[in-house]
Amino acid sequence: MSQSPSLFSRGYIDGIYIPSGLLVFGTLIVKREWLPYAVALAVALGTFKVWNNRVRAVLKPAEFQDFELQEKTIISHNVAIYRFKLPSETAILGLPIGQHISIGAGIKQADGTSKEIVRSYTPISGDQPGFFDLLIKSYPTGNISKYMASLVVGQTIKVKGPKGAMVYTPNMVRHFGMIAGGTGITPMLQIIRAVIRGRPTGDTTEIDLIFANVNKEDILLKEDLDQLAAEDKGFRVHYVLNNPPENWEGGVGFVTPEMMTKWLPKPAEDVKMLLCGPPPMISAMKKASESLGFKKARPVSKLEDQVFAF
């Protein structure tokens, strides 16, 4: 979570202390009797600057707000990273780790009418001041994903949140086993980054991730994941492809109980399995995890569940 700037940061020194000092010193030289007013003005301006620079969470759970598209980075023919601007450079989204946002849009229907469609997405950026990033794959039948793909810089989307039953806290479990398919990587990446960020303050959580895709070029954010795994010995990523290239060293086909046994932690009270991907995959992984000794997953997951599906 982002914090407000330090009172001794360069921004405060250049923006508050030096101008206030010059105002007071100049008044002392030019018109000494105005000194109390100059001091009062310096204090007022300094207080306003501190107040204006504080970090503010902007999300509202019950109210949609408009956010402007600032930048669009094309990853492939149907995948892009969308960066949306927050109201100020110090504002943050205010999204707890593990939760997601709702995006709403009026989508034109076949009969010519417009229908409000809402879908859930997990930002990949965390609470960065000034912006948030969404990784979205556009599907031919996807209402919101097609709408997002049509956006150009300067247009806005409607967002509300946070939503979801998962809220990550440091060391909530000893070991996470994660299984993601396609864009289901986004909530996993959010938690992985939070765990690694927490290492200096004592987060010792181990993470093993199985990331399943159809083709190698479908593996989203592979460079980011590989770099995180290279830099943090507590995080490991295992790739599975339906159509692997020659000399592929990862898993092949669908994720199986054998792969889960090989790469993921065994069932234990301090172990949690996290799932995110297409519904058929989630259904299969719930059954597979139960066959391996994990507690039966509920249709709608709760935070305390041993097997949690986003």
Contacts of 189 (CB under 8 A, 6+ apart): 124, 221, 224, 225
Name the token pair of 65.
């707000």
Residue 255's Cβ-count burial label (10 Å; 0-12, 13-18, 19+) is: buried
Task: Say how far apart CA 66 and CA 91 lie, in whole Å.
Answer: 14
Active-site option among 147, 175, 183, 276: 276
> Is residue 27 helix, strand or coil?
helix
Active-site option among 121, 147, 168, 239: 121
Residue 282 annotated as binding site: no
Q: What is the DSSP letter of 70?
A: E
Q: Which helix (H) or strand (E) holds 16?
A: none
Residue 8's Cβ-count burial label (10 Å; 0-12, 13-18, 19+) is: exposed
Q: What angle do CA 295, 185, 305 make, to 5 degrees?
A: 20
Catalytic residue flag (residue 276): yes
Name the token pair of 227.
């770099």
Residue 145 annotated as binding site: yes
Active-site option among 100, 168, 183, 205: 100
Catalytic residue flag (residue 156): no
Name the token pair of 22.
């010059």
Residues comprising the chain, all counted = 310
Catalytic residue flag (residue 122): yes
Chain centroid to CA 49: 29
- 141 touches 224 (CB < 8 A): no
Residue 220 annotated as binding site: no
Catalytic residue flag (residue 121): yes
Active-site option among 27, 82, 122, 147: 122
**Phi/psi at 298 (nearest 5 deg)?**
-80, 160
The identity of residue 206, as a single letter, is E
- 55 touches 129 (CB < 8 A): yes
**Four-residue CA torsion sign, 214, 215, 218, 223:** positive
Binding residues for FAD: 119, 121, 135, 137, 144-145, 186
Active site residues: 100, 121-122, 276
